[in-house]
Amino acid sequence: MALVEIHDLHKSFGSNHVLRGIDFAVEEGEVVCVIGPSGSGKSTLLRCVNLLEVPEKGKVLVSGEDITDPDCHLDAARARIGMVFQQFNLFPHLSVLANCTVAQTTVLRRNASAAGEIARANLDRVGLNDKVNAYPMQLSGGQQQRVAIARALSMDPALMLFDEPTSALDPELVGDVLTVMRKLALDGMTMLVVTHEMAFAREVADRVVFMDGGVIVEQGPPAEVIGNPQQERTRTFLRRVLDPTHVEPT
Ligand SMILES: Nc1ncnc2c1ncn2[C@@H]1O[C@H](COP(=O)(O)OP(=O)(O)OP(=O)(O)O)[C@@H](O)[C@H]1O
Ligand SMILES: [Mg+2]
């Protein structure tokens, strides 16, 4: 059974039909990178996977449970899905440690000492064990993003969603975050990652999904989709991201 299954997913905002029938699955332990032009629906797709957006048609199954079913226990389903956003969304008034314990104690009802231990282990995993008492504004963007990853991991997610986790970072901070993500992938975490980092997708993804205009245009192993794309839309997109100075002939 796939960990995530998406069947004929549609989502509109007013008259803007953003997702136009998405079908795909993520197997346990698989790393899937979603690429595509701005506005193609990548974030909306990710947000439908933990029901931050409610699709108007189609199904999303996580571990076999239909989270689009109104009877689904949404908080329990969401607790199994970690999400890391472009803007780190840390709680500014809480220390790094408290950022990583608050949902553990409130949602998972762990006691403070167990939650603290788990948070410290995950902060160690992202290379920030020396920052447990710092506050988010005292950290660099890359460090804040790694706290956000440790916070998500502290909930023992079955699946991690990343929405352009490095695109708000200064270039010299991108590497540290990608290193943490690479390690997570090697540890066997199931990951669905929207990214513009083609080198990362090539190296780490088991599968790359190219979206355009609210549909999946092409998907497959990175060597095929990035290395030898079959669709013209994919080729055009890749030319643009791989060589932003390239000018299309008119
Ligand atoms: N909450 C919302 N309300 C109205 N329209 C929205 C909302 N969220 C997204 N959209 C629209 O849906 C379309 C797809 O947006 P989405 O954010 O999914 O694209 P994206 O592929 O993630 O783009 P980017 O690469 O710029 O992040 C866009 O036209 C956007 O304006
Ligand atoms: Mg987006």
Quick one: average pLDDT of 145-163?
Answer: 96
**Residues 222-250: pLDDT tens digits?**
999 999 999 999 999 999 988 877 666 66
Closest ligand by atom to 54 CA: 1
CA distance 183 to 84: 16
The Cα–Cα gap between 155 and 223 comes to 33
Amino acid at 59: K
Residue nearest to atom 28 of ligand 1 (CA): 39
β-sheet with 215-220: strand ranges across: 81-84, 159-163, 191-194, 31-35, 207-212, 215-220
The arithmetic mean of pLDDT across residues 69-97, rounded, is 91
**Which ligand has the shortest distance to the CA of 12?**
1
Total residues belonging to the chain: 250
Q: Which pLDDT band, with edges at 50, 70 and 90, does 70 fall under?
A: confident
Task: List beta partners, residue 194.
Answer: 34, 163
Between the CA of 44 and the centroid of ligand 1 the distance, in Å, is: 6
Q: What is the pLDDT of residues 6-21, one digit of tens each?
A: 999 999 999 999 999 9
pLDDT over 80 (residue 107) = yes
Q: Tell me what the mean pLDDT of segment 152-169 comes to.
A: 95
For the cut 70, the answer to whether the pLDDT of residue 39 exceeds it is yes
Confidence of residue 71 (pLDDT cuts 50, 70, 90): confident
Q: How many other β-carbons are positioned within 10 Å of the β-carbon of residue 134? A: 16
Q: Taking 70 as the threshold, does the pLDDT of residue 162 lie above it?
A: yes
Q: Kindly state the helix (H) or strand (E) to which residue 148 belongs, with its residue range.
A: helix 141-153
Phi, psi dihedrals of residue 21, rounded to the nearest 5°: 95, 75
Q: What is the mean pLDDT of residues 60-79?
A: 87
**Proximal ligand: closest to the CA of 163:** 2
Instruction: Report the separation in Å between the CA atom of 83 and the middle of ligand 1, taken as the mean of its atom positions.
Output: 17
What is the rounded distance in angstroms from the CA atom of residue 250 to the CA atom of residue 243? Answer: 17
The residue-averaged pLDDT of 43-59 equals 93
For the Cβ of 13 lying below 6 angstroms from any atom of ligand 1, the answer is: yes
Look at residue 69 and tell me whether its pLDDT is greater than 70: yes
Ligand 1 centroid vs 49 CA: distance in angstroms? 15
- pLDDT value for 74: 83
pLDDT at 248: 65
What is the structure's pLDDT at 73? 85
CA distance 224 to 246: 22
Residue 246 is predicted with a pLDDT of 65
Average pLDDT over residues 168-189: 94
Angle between helices 96-106 and 141-153 (to 10 degrees): 20
| Mutational pocket test of ligand 1: of 9, 10, 13, 209, the residue with most ligand atoms within 8 Å of the beta carbon | 13
- Residue with the smallest CA separation from ligand 1 atom 16 is 41
What is the whole-number distance in angstroms between the Cα of residue 41 and the centre of ligand 1? 6
Nearest to 234 by CA among 220, 246, 245: 220
The Cα–Cα gap between 147 and 96 comes to: 7
Check if the beta carbon of residue 209 is closer than 8 Å to that of residue 35: yes
Q: Residue 249 has what pLDDT?
A: 66
* CA 187/CA 39 separation, integer angstroms: 32
Cα separation, 47 vs 90, in Å, equals 18
pLDDT at 75: 82
Q: Of 82, 83, 85, 81, which Cα lies nearest the Cα of 67?
A: 81
Q: Which ligand has its closest atom nearest to the C-alpha of 14?
A: 1
Section 71-94 average pLDDT: 90
Please name every residue paired with 19 in a beta bridge, in sequence order, or none if there are none: 11
Is the CB of 195 inside a 6 Å radius of any atom of ligand 1?
no
- Ligand 1 test: best mutation among 18, 86, 233, most atoms within 8 Å of CB? 18
Query: How close is the Cα of 50 to the center of ligand 1, in Å?
Result: 16
In the predicted model, what is the mean pLDDT of the chain? 94
What mean pLDDT is predicted for residues 22-33? 96
Nearest to 120 by CA among 153, 94, 145, 144: 153
pLDDT digits (tens, 9 = 90+) for 206-218: 999 999 999 999 9
CA of 215 to the centre of ligand 1 (A): 14
Q: What is the CA(127)–ligand 1 centre distance, in A?
A: 33
